[in-house]
Structures are given as C-alpha cells and as structure tokens.
Chain A
Amino acid sequence: QLVESGGDLVQPGGSLRLSCTASGFAFSKYWMSWVRQAPGKGPEWVANIKYDGSETFYADIEKGQFTISRDNAQNSLYLQMSSLRVEDTGVYYCARGVVPRGSTVQYYFDLWGQGTLVAVSS
C-alpha cells in the first residue's frame, strides 16, 4: 500500500514537503509518481521518478517549482513544493507506475494512495 503525508494549509508563496511510504511490494523496482486532483476536477500528473532515481520528469507547469525524489532504503517517495499558488490546491496522490512489457518507461498508474490534501490560501 501507499500512504501519503505532509499535506497542510499553506499561504501563497509558501513551501511544503509531501511524503509517501510504500509497503507490501518491492518499492525499489518501480517507477513512482505524484498525481494531483483539484476539487471537482480530473487527475493531473505532476511528476515521476525512475525506480533507481536516475531520471525524473515533470509536467510543464511544475518545472522548477516541484522536486520529486525517493529513498529506496526507506521505501519512501517525496515531493518538495515551493512557490505554491492557489491553483496548486488539491489532493496529492502517490501512485505506482506500470511499465508495459517491452518498454523501459512508465505508462500507467496501478496502485494509488489515499492522498494528502494541500490547500493554498491566504
């Protein structure tokens, strides 16, 4: 399972660090992602990281604002968020990546945490 933590109410321009702890599977063998969902909206991919941490990718709107990282020894995934804006408000999910046979990159998300709420408001 995946358990997120670290969500909070923060003022615009503030920073926050989200964590996700994995259990029940070989965390170090999987791509991992952060996906967020604004109230009443569909999911939006934020960032992902290769199983060994050697590659990271970000949605265009997040580049420079968010940093994804992982600690395979601790079975943990992180998202450092800075310069937060009101439009960053939402539930942030940690999600495990699916790499189709014959591919070397994640395509889908097959295991999700329950999410942690980030609210950006003055």
Chain B
Amino acid sequence: TMLTQSPATLSLSPGERATLSCRASQNIYSFLAWYQQKPGQPPRLLISDAFNRAPGIPARFSGSGSGTDFTLTIASLEPEDFAVYYCQQRTGWPPVYTFGQGTRLEIK
C-alpha cells in the first residue's frame, strides 16, 4: 500500500490553520499514524489509529479520516510546529510498514 501526501510543501504563518493530507492506495480502515520530524531529530508520534493523539501531544493537533483519505489538522500554528510531517500505515501479512513522502510545513 502506497501513501501519497499533499501538498509537498505548505507555507503558512503562525496562528493560521494547517491541513495536511494523506491518501492510501487501498483501504487501510483507520490504521494510520502521523509523525512530526524536526531537523536532526527522530520522528515523533503525533496521532495513531487516524485520530488518537499520543500522550503529551497538544490538542491543536487532530487527525481524521478513514479508508483511503486522511487529514492532519493543526488548529493554530505555533512557531515550533514548523517541521516535516509523515503519515504511516501497516498492512498485510507478513506486515509491511510504509511512510508517505512527507509534507514540509514552512513559515511564510
């Protein structure tokens, strides 16, 4: 299963709302996660099972969607939110784990 993220780059200002998309090539139900990665750091889990926030993740981050279309929304951007975001899923047996190509969220 392939994951396609859009847009590749999103330019917004602090305080604005960010909407990032991830499309799966086949139905993955709600088995999707979102990660944030800053330069020189490992990815950080934000959302699992499409909409469950990981412990410690601020409420401004929310996930939605099921089937093939998923969205990560950041309600009001903080300066520390500018980073690269990846979606990820697991399908099949034996299991295979795939990541999207990422969306770079940059300061406008």
Contact = CB atoms under 8 A, between A and B. Distances in A.
- The judgment on whether A and B are partners is yes
Interface string A94-120: 010010100001111110111100000
Given A42-B86, A57-B95, A112 B44 contact: yes
Which among A93, A95, A110 has the highest number of chain B CB atoms within 10 Å?
A110
B15 interface: no
A43 interface: yes
A43 B5 CA distance: 14
B102 A106 contact: no
Main secondary structure of the interface of A (DSSP, over half): strand
B101 interface: yes
Interface of B: 31, 33, 35, 37, 41-45, 48-49, 54, 86, 88, 90, 94-102
The 6 closest A-B pairs by CB, nearest first: A112-B42, A45-B97, A108-B33, A107-B90, A110-B45, A43-B99
26 contacts: A33-B97, A42-B86, A42-B99, A42-B102, A43-B43, A43-B86, A43-B88, A45-B98, A57-B94, A93-B43, A98-B45, A100-B48, A105-B90, A106-B95, A107-B31, A107-B33, A107-B48, A107-B90, A108-B88, A109-B33, A109-B88, A110-B45, A110-B54, A112-B42, A114-B41, A115-B42
